[in-house]
Structure 1
Amino acid sequence: MNIDDTETRVDIRIRSKGKVEHICPDCGCSCEGYDKRERTWQHMDFFDMECHLHCAVPRMECPKCGKVMLVDVPWAQENSGFTLLFEAKGVELMKEMSVNAAGRYLGVTDKRLWRVLDKHVEERMKHQDLSELDRFYVDETSCRRGHRYVSIFVDEDHNIIFVTNGNDASSVARFREHLEAHGSKASNVKFICCDMGKGFLSGIKNEFPGAVVTYDRYHVIQHMSLAVDRARRHEWNVLREGGGRLKDATKLKGQRFFLLRNVENLSPSQKERVDWILESHKETVSYTD
C-alpha cells in the first residue's frame, strides 16, 4: 500500500499467490492464464483520502470455445473503473440527490455516474416480472427546461416499473412493449389511473382498450378548484360592475382559499364567511356542491 501525502491519495496493490485455475464463464471449461493486464479501480475513500486499487489481472484463453477474456475479479464488475462498494455508494447518493451533485461529492464526473446508474437499472430490469400486474398509474414530470417531460409508470404499491421520455400516446405504447417483454400482456390490465391529458388518454384507448380509466384525485381537485375560483371571480365582477352591490362584491373578494379549505379546518369567523357566500352567491354554490 502506498500513501501519497502530497496528493492525499491511497493506492493499494493486489497480488495473487501461487497458480490459480480459472473457469470459462461460458462453457465451464478449466483455463490457464497466459499473461496479465494492469487494471485500476476507484474505491471508497480511505480516511478521507481518495483510494484506488491496482491489480495485474490474468488473461485467459478457453481451450474449448476459444474465447480470450480477462479473469473476473470479486471486487468489481467487468469493464468498470469502480469497485462494487464505490458503485453502491454512488447509487445510494443518486437516490437522494442529482447525479451532478453526487459526482461532485464523490469526485468523479457525472457522465461516469450515469453509466453506473444505467448499468444497474438495466441489470435490474432484466429480471423484472410483470406477469401479475393488473393495474398501473401513470403521471408526467418535467425533466428539463423547454417543456421536456418523462412519463412514470408505477404499480399499486407505488413502485416505479417503467420510465420513458415524453408524455403522449407513444409513451403508453412504449410501456405496453415493456409490459409484454416482461411476462404480461395488455389484456391483463384491468384498471389504469392517470391525469386528464389527451396524450395519455389516447394512448390508453389504443393500447389498453379493455381497461377502466380513473382520473387521479389530485387533478380532479385541481380542476374543481379552478372552476370554483372562476365562478367566484365572475360573480365578483358582476356585482362590482352592476352597481348597487359594491359592498357584497368587496366581501366576496379575496375569499378564494376559504372556499377551497376543508370545513373542519376553518375558524368560526372563516366558517361564517363561507356560510354567507354559500347562501348569497348561488353561481359559486353550484360549483362547490
Structure 2
Amino acid sequence: MQDVDLYQAVLGITSPWKVTRVDLALDAGQVDVYVEHAAKERFACPECGRSCSVYDHAPSRTWRHLDTCQYRTLLHASPPRVKCAEHGVKQASLPWSEAKSQFTLLFERFAIDVLQSTSVSKAARILGISWDEAWTIQRRAVRRGRARREAAPQSPRRVGVDEKSPGRGKEYFTVVCDLSEKTVEWVGDGRKSETLDTYWKKLTPEQLESIEAVAMDMSGPYFASTVRHVPNATAKIVYDRFHIMQHATKAVDQVRRDEQASLSRTWGKDSPLARSRYLWLYSEENVPARFEERFEKLKKSELRTAKAWGMKELLRGLWGSKNKRAASGFLTRFIRSARAMRFAPLSKLANMLASKRDNILTYFNVPATSTICEGLNPAIQQLKTRGRCYRNREN
C-alpha cells in the first residue's frame, strides 16, 4: 500500500477529497499530509445546504491530527469557497474539521477524553498544544453538548438538587441532575430559592407535571422553590438519605467534641477519645483493619460517643425497611430513643427528623436519592483542585 493510500484510509478521507502527497520529515519528527478535492466538484452552502459551484479557494490551512506513532501529523488543504445565490461567498464545510478549528475532529475527540481526565494545563502538556488551544477545544465541546440538549430538550422524571461550593464556602452554585440518566441538567449561581426557580421556569407545565420525584437535602429554599413550581410537590420531594446521614454523623462528632472536652480535663492526653475523631466517621463495615482492635474496644465502652455512634449506625437501617409503614414505625422508635439519651446533639437530630419525617418517608413511595449528584462530586471537586473550567462558569 502506498503512503497516500494508507493515509487516505487512516484519515477516513472520502470522495471528493483525496490524499495527494505525504511528506515525512524525520529530523523534525513530523508527517505532512496534503489533501485536495476533485476538479469541477460542487459543495453545499454552509448556511442553507444548497449545492453550489466552487467560487475560489481560501489560502492553504493546516490542521493538527492524531500523531502517527511518535511523529506529529499535520493535514494541509486549501478550503473551497462557494458562491450561494442567497448567502453569497462562503467557505464550504470540511469533513475532517469544524469551522475555524485548527484541529481535526479525531484529534479533538481524543483531546476531550484527556480533558475529562485531568486539568487543562496537564492536558495541554500531554497533547503538545497550548493552554489556550486546549481551553478552546473544551469550550467547543461544551457548546456542542449544550446545543444538542437544546435541540432535543428532555425533562427528567426524577430530579436531584444539590449545592456545591467551588471554593471554601465563599460562593455556592446549585446543580440539578437527571437521576435516571445520571447527567447534570443545569447549574445556577447561588443556593437561594430564586436560584432553583430559574431552572423550574425553563420547563413547560407538561414537563413539570411529569416529574415523579425531587431528591434534595433538607434545605428550606430548595423545598420552597419546588413547592412553588412542581405540581403536588410535597408528595414528590424526597429528603435524601445521604444528607440525613451527614446530619447524624455531625451529631456524633459533636457528642465526641463535648465528651472529649470533659475527659481531657481529667485524663489530659491519655483520654480514651484522644486522636479518635476520624474513627467515629466510619461505618461499621468500613473501619480500616489497622484500627479495628482499638475501635472494637471504643464502641463497646460506656462512652457517650460510642452510644451516639451506635444510634447513627441504627439510623442507617431506616432505608432497609420493607415498606413505608414499617419505615414510619422505625423512625418513630428512633426519634424516641434519641431523645431519651438526653445528648443535646442527638436531641437536635431527633427533632429535625421529626419535623421532616413526611418527606423522609416519601422515599418509600418514590425511592429517589441525590447520591448520584454526590457521585459527581469527584469531577466537581476536580474543578477546584485541577482548575478546570473556572475562567468560564458555563463550562
User: Are 2:171 and 1:123 aligned?
Assistant: no
Q: Counterpart in 1 of 2:105?
A: 84
TM-score by length of 2: 0.59
In 1, the alpha carbon distance for the partners of 2:141 and 2:206 equals 23
AA aligned opposite 2:36: R
Compute the displacement of 1:33 (Å).
0.7
User: Are 2:246 and 1:222 aligned?
Assistant: yes
SS of 2:299's partner is: helix
- Structure 1 contact 35–60 (Cα < 8 Å) conserved: yes
Q: Counterpart in 1 of 2:80?
A: 58
1:271–1:36 distance in 2 versus 1, CA, 3 Å? same
- Structure 2 contact 158–180 (Cα < 8 Å) conserved: no
Which structure's residues are more often helix, by fraction?
Answer: 2
- Structure 1 contact 43–53 (Cα < 8 Å) conserved: yes
- Structure 1 contact 232–284 (Cα < 8 Å) conserved: no
Compute the displacement of 1:148 (Å).
4.4
1:96–1:221 distance in 2 versus 1, CA, 3 Å? same
User: Which stretch shifts more, 89-98 or 273-282?
Assistant: 273-282
Which has the higher relative contact order, 1 or 2, with Cα contacts under 8 A spaced 6 or more apart? 2
In 2, the alpha carbon distance for the partners of 1:223 and 1:146 equals 18
1:148–1:53 distance in 2 versus 1, CA, 3 Å? farther
Q: Counterpart in 1 of 2:177?
A: 154
- Structure 2 contact 67–73 (Cα < 8 Å) conserved: yes
User: Which stretch shifts more, 53-62 or 144-153?
Assistant: 144-153
- Structure 2 contact 83–90 (Cα < 8 Å) conserved: yes
Identity, % of aligned positions: 26
- Structure 1 contact 11–53 (Cα < 8 Å) conserved: yes
Q: Counterpart in 2 of 1:135?
A: 158
- Structure 1 contact 36–57 (Cα < 8 Å) conserved: yes
User: Are 2:296 and 1:275 aligned?
Assistant: no
Q: Counterpart in 2 of 1:95?
A: 116
Q: Counterpart in 1 of 2:212?
A: 190
**Considering only aligned residues, what root-mean-square deviation do their CA atoms show, in Å?**
3.6
In 1, the alpha carbon distance for the partners of 2:189 and 2:271 equals 45
AA aligned opposite 1:204: T
Unaligned runs of 5+ in 1: none
User: Which stretch shifts more, 256-265 or 94-103?
Assistant: 256-265
Compute the displacement of 1:201 (Å).
4.2
- Structure 2 contact 62–74 (Cα < 8 Å) conserved: yes
Q: Counterpart in 1 of 2:226?
A: 204
Compute the displacement of 1:195 (Å).
2.8
Q: Counterpart in 1 of 2:96?
A: 75
SS of 2:116's partner is: helix
Q: Counterpart in 1 of 2:17?
A: none
Q: Equivalent of 1:20, from 41, 57, 68?
A: 41
Compute the displacement of 1:94 (Å).
1.3
Compute the displacement of 1:103 (Å).
1.5
In 2, the alpha carbon distance for the partners of 1:178 and 1:161 equals 15
SS of 1:14's partner is: strand
SS of 1:82's partner is: coil
Q: Equivalent of 1:167, from 187, 190, 210?
A: 190
Per-residue CA deviations over 1:26-61 (Å, capped at 9, x if unaligned) read 545431112100222111122323222111111111
